[in-house]
Amino acid sequence: MDEKQFKKLNRRELLKLTPLVALGAFALPPLREPLLMKGLAFSDWASGKLFRPGHLATTFCDSDLTPFEKFPINDYDVDDPEVDLENWTLTVTGAVAKPGDYSLAQIKALPKTRQNTRHVCVEGWDVIGRFGGTRLSEFLKFVGADSTARFITVECADDYYESLDLATAMHPQTLLCYEMYDQPLTRKHGAPVRLTVPTKIGYKQAKYVTDLRVSHVLDRVGYWEDQGYSWFYGL
């Protein structure tokens, strides 16, 4: 083979790598955002497939607990939205048989669950806390939630909002939490009621909850999700 033929052969082999140029789409600003959103959506879809409704998050003994004062207080806006604890109710709407305002006493009258679980922050740190409350699944049964519904959306006193897929909402460790470390929730930790979802990342576990909606379509996703974070983010 002479040199010219060899060069031609090399060129042909080099051309076989041209599909790699497609990745250059990530370098183009108008395409980058939609592509990354597709990637994030794919990850969320895969996360949903990986989620096992009956699989429990690890629970810990009391000696593993992070001391209460070292349990970080994280919020997107204010530490204390000054909820009127006396007159607080949880407003339930959407696909439920008994919509309305539910008092803390009504929630506390439901069976109580206590668990020591890990709270994982998207930033990378984690703590082990003791949480007490009623199972969200128990409360959803109590208000007669439509079993064909697909989502739970919550609104909070600090204008935070979040949503959960129904499988996660029905998970036995997902709580309407009103106690931490066997004490009523403090204002900074989300009094009077917050979500505890050990199978999800921290920002899904909304504090100062005021409204709960059961729905078939997801039209209000979540505060951090709307900034570009993953929606499902199951652990």
Residues that bind another protein (CB under 8 A): 1-4, 6, 9-11, 13-14, 16-17, 19-20, 23, 26, 35-40, 42-43, 47, 50-52, 55, 57-58, 66, 69-70, 72, 118, 120-127, 198-199, 224, 227-230, 234-235
Which one, 112 or 118, has the nearer CB to another protein? 118
Q: Kindly state the smallest distance separating residue 210's Cβ from another protein, in Å.
A: 26
**CB 86 → another protein: shortest distance, Å?**
31
Write down the least CB distance from residue 188 to another protein, Å: 13
| Count of CB atoms situated within 10 Å of the CB of 48 | 14
State the minimum distance, in angstroms, from the CB of residue 205 to another protein.
14
In whole angstroms, the minimum distance from the beta carbon of 57 to another protein comes to 5
CA 3 to chain centroid = 62
Considering beta carbons, is residue 67 or 111 the nearer one to another protein? 67
* Smaller CB separation from another protein, 207 or 213: 207
Q: Which residues of 176-203 are buried (b: 16+ CB within 10 A; e: fewer)?
A: bbbbbbeeebebebbbbbbbbbbbbbbb
Nearer to another protein, 55 or 114 (CB): 55
In angstroms, the CA 231 to CA 201 distance is 10
Is the sign of the CA dihedral 116, 121, 127, 130 positive or negative? negative
Separation between Cα atoms, residue 165 and residue 159, nearest integer Å: 20
Kindly tell me which of 16 and 86 has the beta carbon lying closer to another protein.
Answer: 16
Of residues 5 and 87, the one with the C-beta less far from another protein: 5
CB of 102 or CB of 160, closer to another protein: 160
Q: Tell me the closest approach of the beta carbon of residue 159 to another protein, in angstroms.
A: 19
Q: Is the dihedral of CA 23, 28, 31, 35 positive or negative?
A: positive
Show Cβ contacts of residue 144 under 8 Å, excluding neighbours closer than 6 positions.
96, 97, 98
Q: How far is the CB of 7 from another protein (least distance, A)?
A: 9
Cβ contacts of residue 141 below 8 Å, gap of 6+? none
Omega prior to 192 cis, within 30 of 0: yes
Closest CA relative to residue 234, chosen from 74, 76, 57: 57
